[in-house]
Amino acid sequence: MKILHVAGARPNFMKVAAVIAALEQRPALFEQRLVHTGQHYDYEMSQVFFDELRLPQPDEFLNCGSGTHAEQTARVMLAFELALLHDRPDWVFVVGDVNSTLACALVCAKLGVRVAHVEAGLRSWDRAMPEEINRLLTDQIADLLFTPSPEAETNLLREGIAPEKIHFVGNVMIDTLVRMLPSARSRSVLADLGLARGDYYLVTLHRPSNVDDAQLLAEILSALGELAQRKRVIFPVHPRTRQRIEQLDSRNIRFTGVELLEPKGYLDFLALTEAAGLALTDSGGVQEETTYLGVPCLTLRPGTERPVTLTHGSNRLCASQREAILSAVEQADAVASDLTRRPPLWDGRAADRIVEVMLRQLL
């Protein structure tokens, strides 16, 4: 069976790495190729992940770059169509919910190539999120849907997806976390920054709903400045978020003491996450990682497509407003919770279950 994997942006790489590694255990049965669409293309957002996750170098790099959602999706479709016609795979694996995911699934649907969607069925119920549209449409196109949590199957069935297409396999992000955690623990990032376990807040922000709204971003930064008077605030900054912060300088937002770092690779960021006293984020992946690691997490969004992190893990939703953030952090600091529970099938073997499903496709 010839399988073509698609990766485009930072969240994709951890998921693709797990599936490729599991399929590599059966080289006589599966031939794999990897296409990088180039949605994230600089070293900090892309190449460092290939280096650290032991991913093979892409067989094709489409170099589609950034742009508006329409521009980016269109460029990926045009470039990926040529790659698909050249490779002629039996299956294309798309992961997650970025623009590359939907773009490549659409091309496959037009050319009659079967699509498997890894991390299917997640829903935020907020169609203002571009990722929600990508998830909804990709799941309608896909021929196999691999879900990370039980409610994802319920969502798909409600939307009319045939039950035989749906397979609850668990979370491939956690596969990569389990595999790479020993390497992350050997990193020097904590010592380099002079950090002690549990004595700092870790921050990530990248969603347009937070960083493109000047008023909300100012509220968040003001809260972080206040938190920095209590504990160290470590903030690896997405390039786009840094641009938005710089545009706010003239507003005299006071966030003295917040430590703005360059984006971190997977291993360093995983080490920072595991040792954090609390994470503040708008990232879906960080919600999952903190849930597995038992680290308290505040998600600065009105909802989440990963409700399993609320019911089984450490995650809580929080409004992107100064007083709401400060209150939520104070409560989280004051309450010692049992965060050892993990969602079902978040056990490091999700990709193995995907391989089992694909073996049945060979029969």
Contact 354, 329 (CB under 8 A): no
68 exposed, middle or buried (CB, 10 Å; 0-12, 13-18, 19+)? Answer: exposed
pLDDT of residue 1: 98
Instruction: Report the 10 Å Cβ neighbour count for 99.
Output: 28
Residue type, 339: L
Contact 248, 35 (CB under 8 A): no
Contact 315, 304 (CB under 8 A): yes
Task: Report the distance separating Cα 244 and Cα 221, nearest Å.
Answer: 11
139, containing H or E segment: helix 130-141
pLDDT tens for the 363 residues of the chain, in order: 999 999 988 889 999 999 999 999 999 999 999 999 986 555 455 677 788 988 888 999 998 877 888 999 999 999 999 999 999 999 999 999 999 999 999 999 999 999 999 999 999 999 999 999 999 999 999 999 999 999 999 999 999 999 999 999 999 999 999 999 999 999 999 999 999 999 999 999 999 999 999 999 999 999 999 999 999 999 999 888 999 998 886 566 778 899 999 999 999 999 999 999 999 999 999 999 999 999 999 999 999 999 999 998 789 999 999 999 999 999 988 765 667 789 999 999 999 999 999 999 998
User: CA angle, 186 as apex, 267 and 349 as ends, to 5°?
Assistant: 60
pLDDT of residue 313: 76
Contact 92, 104 (CB under 8 A): yes
pTM (2 d.p.):
0.93
Cβ contacts of 314 within 8 Å, gap of 6 or more: 290, 291, 294, 295, 296, 297, 337, 339
Picking from 287, 306, 299, 297, the residue whose alpha carbon sits closest to that of residue 337 is 297
pLDDT of residue 239: 87
| Alpha helices, DSSP H, located in 202-307 | 208-211, 214-227, 239-247, 266-275, 284-293
What distance lies between CA 186 and its chain's CA centroid? 23
Instruction: Report the 10 Å Cβ neighbour count for 69.
Output: 12
Phi, psi of 356 (to 5 degrees): -60, -40
pLDDT of residue 122: 98
Question: Does residue 238 carry a catalytic annotation?
Answer: no
From residue 313, give the alpha-carbon distance in Å to each of 81, 152, 294: 40, 17, 7
* Residue 40 structure tokens: 């994230």
Question: Pick the catalytic residue: 69, 167, 206, 238?
Answer: 206
2-170+346-362: CATH class: alpha beta
CATH code reported for the domain at 181-334? 3.40.50.2000
Kindly list the domain boundaries of the chain, sorted by start residue.
Answer: 2-170+346-362, 181-334
Task: Report the distance separating Cα 149 and Cα 122, nearest Å.
Answer: 8
